[in-house]
């Protein structure tokens, strides 16, 4: 399906999803990169060596989930906007998803937003808990939102200004 509609199937996503036991330990990066192209900024951004060195510049990124601290330095460095940090330890019922956000208006902390899946469909509402837009992010702010825990591997974008009308 990825080749025809740009949306990965569950089977394509499975090797990219951290194991349940790792998700219980705190924030961790999820790299949803599927194209073999010459690219490695995620590797160079990772200061803890969790993203493995590429044997070939065209390789898909591989992550050692146990080494990953969930710092998110890799998120804004990915030109494909394919890296997210998921934290299922945020609360009993909610997780957070940190994602690249290159749209205007930029949401503000505390703002409620529509939560979108990979196809752009609204799957719920969440609250912005953090917006990183410093020099390191280099014009790709990182937005962290709360999501119902069962949607932590579903939500991959937000829409500002949505909601009930």
Look at strands 122-132 and 142-148 and give their pairing.
antiparallel
Residue-level pLDDT at 162: 65
Mean pLDDT per 10-residue section of the chain, whose length is 165 residues: 76 93 97 93 95 95 97 94 97 98 94 96 97 88 98 96 62
pLDDT score recorded for residue 164: 55
Contact present, 24 and 89 (Cβ < 8 Å): yes
Task: State the pLDDT at residue 134.
Answer: 86
Looking at residue 121, its pLDDT comes to 96
Q: CA 41, CA 58: separation in Å to the nearest integer?
A: 12
Among 83, 144, 90, 152, CA closest to 123:
152
pLDDT attached to residue 1: 59
Pair of tokens at residue 138: 């280099």
pLDDT at 6: 80
């Amino acid at each position: 399906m990825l080749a025809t509609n740009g949306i990965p199937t569950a089977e394509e996503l499975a090797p990219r999803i951290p194991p349940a036991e790792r998700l219980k330990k705190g924030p961790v990066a999820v790299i949803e990169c599927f194209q073999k192209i010459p690219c490695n900024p995620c590797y160079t951004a990772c200061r803890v060596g969790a993203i493995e060195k590429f044997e070939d510049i065209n390789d898909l990124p591989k992550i050692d989930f146990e080494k990953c601290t969930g710092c998110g330095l890799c998120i804004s460095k990915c030109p494909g906007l394919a890296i997210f940090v998921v934290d299922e330890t945020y609360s009993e019922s909610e997780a957070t998803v940190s994602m690249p956000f290159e749209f205007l208006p930029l949401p503000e902390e505390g703002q409620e937003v529509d939560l979108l899946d990979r196809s752009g469909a609204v799957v719920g509402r969440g609250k912005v808990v953090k917006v990183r837009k410093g020099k390191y992010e280099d014009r790709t702010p990182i937005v962290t939102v709360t999501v119902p825990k069962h949607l932590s591997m579903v939500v991959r974008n937000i829409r500002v200004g949505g909601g009930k009308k």
